[in-house]
Structure 1
């Protein structure tokens, strides 16, 4: 009798509300920060560059990722796989596939935006060249990654349709490769401006604020490292709809916080206008 009750309790478990809460909060927060960034650039600084419009593009794809993850929870994410009706399996896998592509595209656009922002802020020739090299690497890697993700199964429809016979690249090795390369590029991008910041002739207080703002990028690197653990769990799981929750939500957190981190240097002008003593 007790085992029956325990089984029923497990079957009724759902993390859907947790997923929706995290997704909604991060979508609203990152959208607000991007809106404030645009306001600052257009109304206060009277200048809006390609990096600003790319961050808007990244935010659109981040919202797309959030919607896809939300739809995954509608079709089974956050519930145990054996409780999901068969007719929901295909929609779940379709939204999962969409979330992977949207996530990778958004992340690449954020990185391109950050490097273009560096080119606008730091005019030293060495910094300009480093940014160009970084842009070439990021764009080439993004094209490769998105293509491999799109073609991870052949034919593509075999990813979500079990009735179609196809071949898929083993998920875990390729996800590990993506994660490691992304961590390396993240770290390289966020460490790039630190020498230039150190050489700026600014009051100590302002320098500290700038180092804190730019240093927040290393928190994104920490999230990327932390996320690897969940990728392994999700890839090897016999209960993927339950075990993929953490990988999905941490992926969205990574994206949203990357956009916020990329926007904070611009928001400094807004803060100074409101609180001039800073």
Structure 2
């Protein structure tokens, strides 16, 4: 969506009261609470399982895993703030009529969220790939290293990219100053591609190893289903990418 988009007085006057009265912030708040609890409980259970059942914990368990959890929690907190003080849940037109500065607050929170989101995408993948490197070998190990290289490079490149999306940087939220932003739809479209590719690779890497496991067919199927379930996010990412290609919200 073009960050400088605004409504003209004529457009605002044509909007119905029913449209302006729509308010979904409670649904969004409850959904965010649910995900916050799930993320926290999952991380607690992970640490309990590692403490009781893992023979050895690598350095990443005490560094990258906590950082990944903090990033996930950071997104949840940012979402709370965007709902509570950023106006999320109501139409933008409502805030332009009743409290225009709220949208500026939303844009500031959205800008901060972009940095947290990129870290939240990269570090959980790195954690999984480090785990893979300990249990794979040969060509699969090489593919794992290449995938990790793509993930790390994508994250490193994303930081300066976010900084230069709008120039000057303050134009991300302050539209009263002289500035401009790049075509945000192009950014959404093409930044998604490396994430989808690495998601597919991360799901596919363990399959050759699982296929060779000397276990019962039932257990092998169960393991395959477990790893496939972990890749459900790929379908959401692909659907989102297709929508980005079909629509133009500028």
Q: Distance in 1 between matches of 2:242 and 2:27?
A: 20
Give CA-to-partner distance per residue, 1:58-81, whole Å, 9 cap, x none.
121111111112211222112111
Alignment deviations for residues 143-193 of structure 1 (CA, whole Å, 9 cap, x no partner): 112321232111111101112222211100111001122111111111111
Alignment of 1:90 onto 2:117:
no
Tell whether 2:27 aligns with 1:18: yes
Query: Scaled by the length of structure 1, what TM-score is found?
Result: 0.77
Task: Tell me, yes or no, if the aligned pair for 2:71 and 2:116 is still in contact at 8 Å.
Answer: yes
Structure-1 residue corresponding to 2:50: 41
Number of equivalenced pairs: 232
Indicate the residue corresponding to 1:72 in structure 2.
82
Greater relative CO (CA pairs within 8 A, separation 6+):
1
Instruction: Give the whole-Å Cα distance in 2 for the aligned partners of 1:196 and 1:39.
Output: 27
Q: Determine the C-alpha separation between the residues in 2 that align with 1:131 and 1:194.
A: 13
**Alignment partners' CA distance in 2, 1:206 and 1:233:** 41
Which residue is equivalent to 2:125? 111
Q: Which protein is richer in helix relative to its size? A: 1
Note closer, same or farther for the CA distance 1:197–1:28 as it changes in structure 2 (3 Å cut): same
Identify the match of residue 65 of structure 2 among 32, 35, 55. Answer: 55
Q: CA deviation at 1:36?
A: 0.8
CA shift digits 1:38-96 (9 cap, x unpaired)? 11112222422244342331121111111112211222112111111112121110111
Q: 1:129 offset after TM fit, Å?
A: 2.1
Q: What is the CA distance between 1:219 and its match in structure 2?
A: 0.9
Q: 1:235 to 1:30 in 2, by over 3 A?
A: farther
Normalising to structure 2: TM-score of the pair? Answer: 0.85
Q: Distance in 1 between matches of 2:128 and 2:137?
A: 16
Structure 1 partner of 2:147: 134
Q: Any conservation in 2 of the 1:105–1:146 contact (CA below 8 Å)?
A: no
Partner of 1:100: 114
Q: Residues 231-270 of structure 1 correspond to what in structure 2 (within 5 A)? A: 236=249
Alpha-carbon shift at residue 8 of structure 1 (Å): 1.8
Other structure's SS at 1:123 match: coil
Q: Give structure 1 stretches of 5+ with no counterpart.
A: 238-278
